[in-house]
Amino acid sequence: MRNYSTLKRVLVTGGAGFLGSHLCERLVDEGCDVLCVDNFYTGTKANILSLLDHPHFELMRHDITFPLYVEVDEIYNLACPASPIHYQFDPVQTTKTSVHGSINMLGLAKRVKAKILQASTSEVYGDPEVHPQTEDYWGKVNPIGIRACYDEGKRCAETLFFDYHRQHNLKIKVARIFNTYGSNMHPNDGRVVSNFIVQALKGKPITIYGDGRQTRSFCYVSDLVDGLIRLMGTPDEFTGPVNLGNPDEFTMLELAETIKVITGSKSELIFKPLPEDDPVQRQPDISLAHAELGWYPKIPLKDGLVNTISYFENLFKIR
Ligand SMILES: NC(=O)c1ccc[n+]([C@@H]2O[C@H](COP(=O)([O-])OP(=O)(O)OC[C@H]3O[C@@H](n4cnc5c(N)ncnc54)[C@H](O)[C@@H]3O)[C@@H](O)[C@H]2O)c1
């Protein structure tokens, strides 16, 4: 028998990270009892500072590659370093976090009959041959390259989710998240939006890899969190995978120029060779998310960048 509280008990793994901290905040705001589990590999307490004293928020330092025994109704499995700098630092641990971590969280969901959502990634599509990517595209991933610990780890996690669903009737949801940006991003994680903003704010040269014509689509964090919560709320028959991202495409050059204009930075643009296995183009087809979740991103890139830049300005106490 469950306790007397009528609040929905929600576990967020990786809750002290960029996306996780925003998700925890939103869930607490919605009246959930939130348990944030994090090993602080890339996340920080600073990201969830405003929640620490909240009566419906609890923080647990724990590595999900080890089993966890808690009583919850829903699990958002976000734990995993997400930027190449961080996930390539200890690639074996990265794969373990996706694979062992998923096994542990799926085992927990099975034991307590919780619904569980996996934060998967557009990286499961690898360097795609179809454009934009729909969920039925199987991807083109190098299984032995330096990005494989992340890409293949996430692919295997998806496999585990679907096997637990088929074999044990687990209620699963799989979100394939495309590039997302916003406050609480790690300033040194090498992701393109944070890189460009930090370089522009510090007046350093803005580093563009390749010729800058490769495109990416960027989703603002509040839109993404809204998508995750909507996905969790879908009927049990709907498992995904479902793409969540902003289909508006921008070249790296356009992104750099927009950031320069907003920050008023005089930084010059410098060009470096493309990293190994870096996809040339990536853009989500979000028709499924629109049809099943009624979801589409609302925040235009410029507005999201203004908020994100102001976060980094405060972080560096530039003004
Ligand atoms: N941000 C994006 O653009 C993006 C895109 C696609 C997928 N995702 C996925 O969303 C999730 C969150 O990404 P993010 O951008 O917030 O990254 P992040 O690095 O900011 O957050 C990941 C969090 O997981 C924690 N963590 C890592 N390994 C752990 C472990 N073994 N046990 C417990 N905690 C652990 C980290 O300390 C951190 O707080 C990740 O699973 C990532 O793969 C993010």
Number of residues assigned to the chain: 319
What is the C-alpha to C-alpha distance for residues 58 and 255, in angstroms, rounded to an integer?
37
Closest CA to 283 of 202, 152, 178: 178
Q: Which residue has its alpha carbon closest to ligand 1 atom 35?
A: 79
* Closest ligand 1 atom, residue 184 Cα: 20
Taking the centre of ligand 1 as the mean of its atom positions, its distance from the CA of residue 197, in whole angstroms, is 20
User: Best of 22, 37, 40, 42 to mutate for ligand 1, by most ligand atoms within 8 A of CB?
Assistant: 42
User: Best of 13, 68, 78 to mutate for ligand 1, by most ligand atoms within 8 A of CB?
Assistant: 78
User: Best of 18, 87, 176 to mutate for ligand 1, by most ligand atoms within 8 A of CB?
Assistant: 18
* Residue ranges around ligand 1 (CB below 6 Å): 13-14, 16-20, 38-43, 63-65, 78-82, 97, 101, 119, 121, 177, 179-180, 186
Taking the centre of ligand 1 as the mean of its atom positions, its distance from the CA of residue 79, in whole angstroms, is 5
Closest CA to 14 of 81, 93, 84, 95: 81
- Read off the DSSP letter of residue 125: G
Strands (E), the chain: 9-13, 33-38, 57-61, 74-77, 115-121, 172-177, 180-181, 206-209, 215-217, 219-220, 242-244, 249-251, 269-272
Taking the centre of ligand 1 as the mean of its atom positions, its distance from the CA of residue 188, in whole angstroms, is 15
Taking the centre of ligand 1 as the mean of its atom positions, its distance from the CA of residue 266, in whole angstroms, is 32
What is the C-alpha to C-alpha distance for residues 238 and 302, in angstroms, rounded to an integer?
33
Q: Which residue has its alpha carbon closest to ligand 1 atom 28?
A: 80
What is the C-alpha to C-alpha distance for residues 115 and 106, in angstroms, rounded to an integer?
9
Decide if 268 contacts 302 (C-beta within 8 A).
Answer: no
Q: Give backbone dihedrals phi and psi of 270, rounded to 5 degrees, phi first.
A: -120, 150
* Closest ligand 1 atom, residue 19 Cα: 16
Q: Which residue has its alpha carbon closest to ligand 1 atom 7?
A: 121
According to the model, what pLDDT value does residue 279 have?
66
**Could you tell me the maximum CA-CA distance found in the chain, to the nearest angstrom?**
63
What is the C-alpha to C-alpha distance for residues 14 and 12, in angstroms, rounded to an integer?
6
Decide if 209 contacts 275 (C-beta within 8 A).
Answer: yes
> pLDDT tens track of the chain, all 319 residues?
555 678 999 999 999 999 999 999 999 999 999 999 999 999 999 999 999 999 999 999 999 999 999 999 999 999 999 999 999 999 999 999 999 999 999 999 999 999 999 999 999 999 889 989 999 999 999 999 999 999 999 999 999 999 999 999 999 999 999 999 999 999 988 889 999 999 999 999 999 999 999 888 899 999 999 999 999 999 999 999 999 999 999 999 999 999 999 999 999 999 999 876 666 667 899 999 999 999 999 999 999 999 999 999 999 875 4
Would you name the residues annotated as active-site residues?
Answer: 150
